[in-house]
Amino acid sequence: MYCTADAEVEKLKRQISVYVDNARENEFKLRRFQEQELQFIKSAGLEQLLETFFVDYRQRFRHDAVSLLLLDPNYEVRRILDNLGIELQRYPELHFSDTPDMLQSMFGRRLRPLLGADQPRYSKQLFLGQARAPVSIAALPLVRQARLIGSFNIGSLKARRYTKDSATDFLQRMAEIFAVCFENAINNEKIKLLGLLDPLTGVHNRRYFDQRLAEEVSLSLRQHKPLSCLFLDIDHFKVFNDNYGHQVGDRVLQDVASVIKSQMRLSDVLGRFGGEEFAILLTNTAEKEALEIAERVRQSIEAHRLELDNHSLNITLSAGCSTLDARQEQPYHNGLGDQLIAAADAALYSAKEGGRNRVRFRALEAATAEPKIEG
């Protein structure tokens, strides 16, 4: 009888020990998750949030693979990343989708996590940047205000790491925290951009352009890559205002900005420099390619028609181009941005003087303080 009682006591002790060990393990997991959540929350901006996810989070939990798939139908997030100077190649595990089809297929109408080792289709698409495709995955929906905005993905080289029966409470909470932080970061960047956009045309203003000019010149010098600048001016713009009124003049500016944007790459920087003038920074672009881009923009504007109630208006522009060839030694680094602008402006003056609706190039050392021709 005593032996039976002793055996029951020992069994109970073992059960209690298991419970205690499980409780300690869960407490340790919870603490690690809470620490990571705090790192997400403390991230100062979108760039640090991405860095925290792709570097800190992966290392902290020793994940074989992590990735983000973001729904970005209007290229909004990608434009923000470009404005921040974050190249997509920096994060090969960051992917974008223009439509919600794949995400809705993954999570269903109830937006449930996708778990398991039998998901080869999704595993391949979610982890394109990985040298070895994960064997098992955990994909969690990123949701804000009942709206699916992306997926938070973890991959393992172990088939049994994530199964359909795996508990996801901690992971789902992590994804929820990340979704809130991501939305806040995007909204903060939008607020910043509001002060850096021209309200009429929707392109960046002079203040933003000047900031990016300094950054791009510095980057060009460090990486020994060329940087080109285009100065664009609408021909005879005063005529539109005088003959048709300022509302039509505003339409001309908006149409020209829209056409220019359609010809640009994501890495290019467009700004309304003032009045009817626009400026473009072409990163990693030498003279020949810059002139080709300028000519393409000029031709697109010339082919465009501004449709009014009773007739259509022809618009042309003149363009000046200059290039900072950082592959060559630059004797004076200070003021190179101003020199680049001055050279492009001088080239624009030459295009105006030569009859308008044309492109001209001016080297940095050839720039002079020539007077502008209005219109």
| SS3 assignment for 106-162 | HHCCCCCCEEECCCHHHHHHHCCCCCCCCCEEEEEEEEECCEEEEEEEEEECCCCCC
Residue type, 38: L
| CB under 8 A, 24+ apart: contacts of 79-87 | 79/266, 80/46, 80/186, 80/189, 80/190, 80/193, 81/46, 82/266, 82/267, 83/189, 83/193, 84/46, 84/47, 84/189, 85/215, 85/219, 86/46, 86/47, 86/50, 87/267
Report whether 264 contacts 281 (CB < 8 A). Answer: no
pLDDT tens digits for range 43-52: 888 999 999 9
Mean pLDDT in residue range 79-96: 88
The pLDDT score that the predictor gives to residue 368 is 42
Is the full-model pTM beyond 0.75?
no
Interval 271-320: pLDDT, tens: 999 899 999 999 999 999 999 999 999 999 999 999 887 788 999 999 99
- By residue count, the chain amounts to 375
pLDDT value for 193? 80
- Give the whole-angstrom CA distance, residue 275 versus residue 262: 21
- Please tell me the distance from the alpha carbon of residue 127 to that of residue 248, in angstroms, as a whole number: 50
From residue 59, give the alpha-carbon distance in Å to each of 51, 91, 136, 266.
11, 15, 18, 31
Average pLDDT over residues 157-161: 91
CATH no., domain 206-366: 3.30.70.270
Instruction: Kindly list the catalytic residues.
Output: 276
- Ordered by start, the domain boundaries in the chain are 2-194, 206-366
pLDDT tens-digit profile of 230-250? Answer: 999 999 999 999 999 999 999
φ and ψ at residue 175, rounded to 5 degrees: -65, -40
Domain 2-194 of CATH type 3.30.450.40: yes
Predicted pLDDT at 309: 79
pLDDT band at residue 123, thresholds of 50, 70 and 90? confident
Percent of the chain with pLDDT over 90: 59
DSSP H or E stretch at residue 193: helix 169-194
pLDDT, tens only, 160-211: 899 988 888 889 999 999 999 999 999 988 888 888 889 899 899 999 999 8
- Residue 43: phi and psi, rounded to 5, are -60, 130
